[in-house]
Chains A and B, each alone.
Chain A
Amino acid sequence: MKKFIFWRYPGRIPFFRMDDRLLLIFIGVIVGICSGLAAIVLNRSLIFLLDGFHHMRHLWWAFLLPAAGAMLSSIFLEKIMNEGAGHGVPEVIYSVSRYGGLLRLRSSISRLVSSCLTIGSGGSAGPEAPVVMSGAAIGSNIAKFFFLNDRQRVTLVGCGAAGAIASIFNAPLTGMIFTMEIILGEWSMVNIIPIAVASVAGAEVSRILQGNSIAFESSTSFNIGYIDLLACLGLAVTASLASLLLTRALRRMHKISPRVRVPLWARAAIGGCAVGLLGFAVPEVLGEGYHSIHAMIQGSFPAGLGIAAIACLAKILATSLTLGWGGSGGIFAPCLVIGSFAGLAYHRLLAFAFPSVMWVNEGCFALLGMAGMMSGILQAPLTGIFLILEITGSYEVMLSLIIVSAISTTITHYFEPASFYLKDLTERGQLLRPGTDSRVLADMSIREVIEKDCIPVHPGMLLRDFLHTVTISTRNYFPVEDKETGHFLGMIRFDHIRPYLFNTVMYDTVFVEQIMDTDMEVVHFDDDLFDVLQIMDAKHCFSLPVVSNNRFAGMVSKATLLDKYRDELNVQTSQL
């Protein structure tokens, strides 16, 4: 029994005490394997469901399949798991930035099952974000089991996310970069090594169980000429327009759907039904849509500019109907599909407008479109570039990938300053990246900066007695408290007594209650220091009294706050 308890505190094992990175690497491998397995389970379940329903797609009632899937997914999340819909990545980022990566155990399976139901039945969504959520929750709960601290837990959450992405795409570099760029928002040496190891572990699990294959390998190599490079500029604009369109369509649907006053599961079913009907006209919109990407990269997608353009718009509509109306899943896969449709349509438009030019294979533009779309919507160009490199194996298009990703990110950022994953958090003021002002302030509390050495005085006290108190005090502020109840009544600043200081006649005629400030701003223990600083700035004051249960508890001053701020900033940035 004692041995078991000892292993639950691995940080105490002498080998790991040499450097806690060794501990994180060791546990990171476990997390990477577990999250890799979770990704494979989802992948296999999706293949099973999609294959199972494939022969029913031609039936007249097939449009009800996505409705049933979305409805079951919503019921599962809401009623059984007691979680909200959505893909979960913002939840992971929120937990990392505010609560040291604490995630519920149930999150490690909830999104896997719900997204499997949504996507497997034909809903337009991706399995990647749910596996990120699942992997992150696995990492968090393993850290919890071993009683690791916040910083170590955050690293393991990153390990889980990296292992999941690495496993589902067989792309270890992408797993690592996605985690650093999107989930953690920092590139620190402490994190990189365990996350890289977890990413490799996740990818290896995938390779052992599913084979070492490149997801969207092209049968031909792409020879990009100068004219194609020039055309990449236009492709970047097209991809960024598509990402803007998808972002806004999703947000619009999120706003419209609550207006329909029906239960959540019925709302999800309505969205699923609409996707099912859309699927009759454009079957490519159903499910994750990876078959279409294969066809486009191989150059075997049905000919016609209109078909590609319509498929692109239809996929945007289907994704926003699925996710905006309560279905479960992520936007990774839809982004790849929409991006490749956009790239294909753009290539066909160029070929139509300039028939005499020798353009590169349209499959190349499809994969460049994917990178542009990913970079635009996630505003994470490195993730876009490395993902496409690893899932297509087309390293010869590196230069064009960089151009398309960089321009697409820049254009999208101009219109949408926060990425799809971060927009809600930014609007709620809850995106707290390490080392930023808001994060430093959020990690401090009033209890840490409160000064309790103020001497309280009573309203009935004469100025002479008060001056005696002043001589023994080291502070300029004096709380006035009711003698009977101890309730806080107001404050006296040293400035208040200045007019009377040299008039000794007033010493025995003026009472404290006549000169005290009763209209002073007060703060409470649970107020955020960010708000406290704003009050200080607005009122042009350097200290504020802290009042709890009508009693004076102490003072908060800008000077002490700055001291603690520097300490906290040092702690946060020394880990980078």
Chain B
Amino acid sequence: MPHDVLLVDDHKIMRDGIKAILGRADDFRVVGEAETGTDAVQFVKKYKPDIVLMDIGLPGLNGVETTVEILRHHADCRVVVLSMYDDEHSVVSAIRSGARAFILKRASDTDLVDALRIVARGGSYLSPQVSDRLLSRIQKGDLESKPAGAALEHLAPRELQVLRLVADGKTSKEIAVILDLREHTVRSYRKTMMKKLGVNNVAGLTQLALSTGLTQLPRGAAAE
């Protein structure tokens, strides 16, 4: 019986190509496509696919945040992250979020089908280019093992999501819609974050998010 796969990528041309490649493999069946992380989470909640093939650089909820959300609703789902980024921060973030595989987007021989088969059997996979680089960094002893921004270390993944969205200017109501939470739950996260981070207002949260690189000022904001 083929494994049900959800494709998540904001580029239709990529989804079409991947769908065609998987169409040549009898052991996978593409059961859905999503352009955004929010749509992907909704699909997973409803249809519970076996595997989600996830672009890491999605607009809105990124691939890492979406992976956390998906696994919160469907813990048995196996998420495979596809990425143009090959830096260790992207790899570590993806694996920390619960992804079972990290595949580098390449033009030539893709390891996509091999990776999906390994993950479908319960295994894990890193593209050779990525694993070689990580191995080298580990051997040199210079692999950064902590996330950026020591101040954010004590925040839970959900709190980091809320913090980024607050810093992006979203209201609690908007955040509730994006993360599929109740508004009072979002307010509760905000209070908890402020307490943990020792700040008293949204301006403080935004400043912290900017200083740690969690978000950046939109165009023109610096002049306002």
Q: Decide whether A and B assemble into one complex.
A: no
Binding site for A on B (CB under 8 A): none
Binding site for B on A (CB under 8 A): none
